[in-house]
Amino acid sequence: MRGAVHRASLFLLLACLTAAHAAELRIGLSADVTTMDPHFVAAQPNLTAQQHVFDSLVRTDEKSRPVPGIATWRTPDPLTWEFTLRKGVKFHDGSELTTEDIVFSLERPFTITGSPGGFQTYVRPIVAKEVVDRYTVRLKTAAPYGALLQDLAEVMIVSKRAASGATGEDFDRGKAAVGTGPFKLARFARGDRIEFVRHDDYWGGRLPWDRLTLLILPSDPVRTATLLSGQVDAIEHVPTADIARLRKNPAFRLEQTVSWRTIFLHVDQGRDRPPGVLSRAGQPLAKNPFKDERVRRAMSKAINRQAIADRVMEGLALPAANVVSPSVFGHDPAVKPEPYDPDGAKALLAEAGYPGGFAVTIATPNNRYINDEQVAQTVAQMLARVGIAAKVEAMPLSVYFGKARNKEFGVALLGWGSRAADLALRSLVATPNPDKGYGAWNWGGYSNPKLDEGVAQSLGTVDPAKRETLARGASALAAREIAFIPLHYQVVTWAMKSSLSYTARTDEFTFAHHFTPRKP
């Protein structure tokens, strides 16, 4: 009996010691995660969490360049992409990944309904899928398509067995959230936290973290305070006001880079009477002022982008002109930010028939982008100085995207990160066409057949140099016509305990499996 008690005590001691030495990483995220279904909505907060559970055929490195994920590839001809899976890649339930799971995952986005911005755009160019064997699949496009690798980096692979017929709730509860990624989903508490445990059979190698917790901390002061108190080990999107003091604190270190994300305003130039656009007396206008390019340009001239970058963003932004930031494929350095010219803005408004201006409501999230509500408030003040009486309607991201999907905004702030200019234009300003996957996020209703053709030509080119020239041309056209009003490119910052290392990513993603213990 005494021996049994001794063995039980020893077992308990060993268990306690093991638990004490189990490595846990805790990261504070800046925006809420609304679902663990990786094919419902292509919103970055969701993708951040989901990519801990699921893999893609193609990955992107910290500079957004395509690199092999769970597969390598070759192009036997301009219409064919052959992917070869890594052998022995295991799902979280122990089953092996096969090409059947790949085909299922590439077809599943077409079954999703009710999404404010889904993944059909990324898989629509694929017109045929041929399973060669258990590890090889050929994807066919109807025409040459140079952006397929970037598209496939966005589409995560699920288990056909676990995800067949699954609902969003099944993913949130973990029943269908069976991937090949570095972590297994343990608990999803929307608005609070997401808990994971290590996938010990992860093909990418054993990670240093046994457990991972992603805490949802959309409040800037709370996020910083949580890091300073030791409740988390790292945070993303460090508030601009806190960077200087964190930099001086030897207990922490910062990593920064220019983001791929452009912050801009969508203005509704499609409908006759967009919401929130009225006379200064609060009456409906005879016509939609945003349909006049002069009005859109006047609004652009009224905005002092350098002041926003210097004061609101405290130096952590660059004035924007392009649809993508300087580090991204297709950025055109010849396209310069609109000069700040309030007198010119007033003249254009008068020329367009609005000498007394009008009134607008600017909708914005208040917990998604760096200083997003403050940026919108500053823009509103600048517009007011040229006669456009602007007010701001700010709301949490979880509410914002739903209202945007229902077209409840006439002017809306959006941040968009893309791996290429033509891909961004396809989503943001191409004429909406579900069959082609164009215009999925075109909230402004801009439409120009010349731009659509330019995007199509760029995406249809497999020669990178030629494609970039075409993408720059389409981007310049969008800028000339004020298809949207660019504000700034973000500079993104991570803060972490000094014992950790992380390589800053231009795509702003925060991946626990890329944090490593730092050598003394």
pLDDT per residue over 16-29, tens digit each?
333 334 699 999 99
Please tell me whether residues 298 and 202 are part of one structural domain: no
Supply 343's token pair.
Answer: 């007198």
Q: What is the pLDDT of residue 18?
A: 38
Backbone phi, then psi, for 27, in 5-degree steps?
-125, 135
Residues 205 and 294 in one domain: no
More confident residue, 83 or 436: 83
Indicate the angle between helix axes 449-459 and 421-428, nearest 10 degrees: 140
Instruction: Give yes or no: residues 32 and 91 share one domain.
Output: yes
**Are residues 62 and 134 located together in one domain of the fold?**
yes
pLDDT the model gives residue 8: 42
pLDDT computed for residue 355 by the predictor: 96
Strand pairing partners for 394?
364
Element (H, E) at 466: helix 464-480
Q: 332 in a domain, yes or no? A: yes
Do residues 420 and 300 both lie within one domain?
Answer: yes
Tokens read off for 156: 């995560």
- The per-residue pLDDT for 83 is 98
Distance CA 430, CA 439 (A): 5
Average pLDDT over residues 62-75: 93
The answer to whether residues 189 and 277 belong to one domain is no
Query: What's residue 17's pLDDT?
Result: 36
Co-location of 116 and 197 in the same domain? yes
pLDDT at position 15 over 70: no
Question: CATH code at 124?
Answer: 3.40.190.10
Give pLDDT, residue 346: 98
Q: Work out the average pLDDT over 475-501.
A: 96
On the 0-12 / 13-18 / 19+ scale of CB atoms within 10 A, 255 is middle
Structure tokens, 355 = 């000498």
Whether the model clears a pTM of 0.85, i.e. scores above it, the answer is no
Could you tell me the pLDDT band of residue 12, with boundaries at 50, 70 and 90?
Answer: very low
Sign of CA dihedral 212, 216, 218, 221: negative
Q: What's the pLDDT score for residue 259? A: 92
Mean local confidence (pLDDT), 159-182: 97
Q: Which of 184, 216, 248 is the last residue of a domain?
A: 216
Kindly report the CATH number assigned to the domain that includes residue 292: 3.10.105.10
Which residues lie below 8 Å from residue 449, measured CB to CB, with a gap of 6+?
431
What is the Cα–Cα distance from 377 to 95, expressed in whole angstroms? 52
Q: Which of 260, 293, 269, 306 is nearest to 150 (CA)?
A: 260
pLDDT at residue 22, as a whole number: 61
Token pair for 259: 């983001």
Residue 449 domain flag: yes
Q: Assess whether 196 and 341 both reside in one domain.
A: no
Q: What is the pLDDT of residues 240-251, one digit of tens each?
A: 889 999 999 999
Structural domains counted in the chain: 2
Q: Is the pLDDT of residue 5 over 70?
A: no
Average pLDDT over all residues of the chain:
93
Residues 268, 188 within the same domain: no
Q: Which helix (H) or strand (E) holds 496?
A: strand 485-497
Task: Identify which of 198, 187, 327, 203 has the alpha carbon closest to the alpha carbon of residue 256.
Answer: 327
Give, as one character, the DSSP assignment of residue 426: H
Three state DSSP letters for 49-89: HHCCCCEECEEECCCCCEEECCEEEEEEECCEEEEEECCCC
Residue 483 token pair: 């298809």
- Given a cut of 70, is residue 2 above it in pLDDT? no
pLDDT at 46 over 60: yes
pLDDT of residue 517: 95
**Which residues are registered as beta bridge partners of 213?**
26, 195
CB contact at 8 A, 484 and 478: yes
Please indicate, yes or no, if residue 235 is contained in any of the structural domains: no
Residue 127: what pLDDT? 96
* Whole-angstrom distance, CA of residue 365 vs CA of residue 368: 6
Answer whether residue 62 shows pLDDT above 80.
yes
Per-residue model confidence (pLDDT) at position 447:
97
pLDDT at residue 419 in the model? 87
Question: Which residues make Cβ contacts (< 8 Å) with residue 50, sequence separation at least 6?
Answer: 36, 38, 156
Q: CA-based angle 438:441:442, to the nearest 5?
A: 75
Whether the CB-CB separation of 380 and 303 falls below 8 Å is answered with no
Percent of the chain with pLDDT over 70: 96
Are residues 241 and 374 in contact, defined by beta-carbon separation less than 8 angstroms?
Answer: no
Q: Rounded to whole angstroms, how far apart are CA atoms 518 and 500? A: 5
Please check whether residue 203 lies inside any domain of the structure: yes
User: 264 with 385, same domain?
Assistant: yes
In a domain, 15, yes or no: no
Residues sharing a CB contact under 8 Å with residue 130, sequence separation 6 or more, in sequence order: 137, 138, 139, 140
Mean pLDDT across 100-119: 91
Q: Are residues 470 and 324 in the same domain?
A: yes
pLDDT of residue 21: 45
182 and 300 part of one domain: no
Report the alpha-carbon distance of residue 33 to residue 107 in Å, rounded. 24
Can you give the pLDDT at residue 118? 80
Q: What is the pLDDT of residue 13?
A: 38
CA atoms within 13 A on the CB side of 73: 23
Range of the domain at 413: 259-491
Tell me: the pLDDT tens digits for 294-314? 999 999 999 999 999 999 999
User: CA dist 467 to 44, 165, 327, 422, Å?
Assistant: 26, 39, 16, 9
Q: What is the number of other CB atoms lying within 10 angstroms of the CB of residue 16? A: 10
The confidence score (pLDDT) of residue 9 equals: 43
13 within domain boundaries = no
7 occurs within a structural domain: no
The pLDDT score that the predictor gives to residue 63 is: 85
pLDDT digits (tens, 9 = 90+) for 78-108: 999 999 999 999 999 999 999 999 999 999 9
What is the reported pLDDT for 14? 37
With left for phi above 0 and alpha for psi between -120 and 50, is residue 86 left, alpha or beta?
Answer: beta
Cα distances (Å, whole numbers) of residue 386 to 274, 282, 322, 376, 383: 21, 18, 24, 16, 6
Q: Which residues contact 429 (CB under 8 A, 6 or more apart)?
A: 323, 439, 442, 444, 446, 451, 478, 483, 484
The structure tokens 């309607």 sit at: 393
Residue 148 lies in a domain: yes
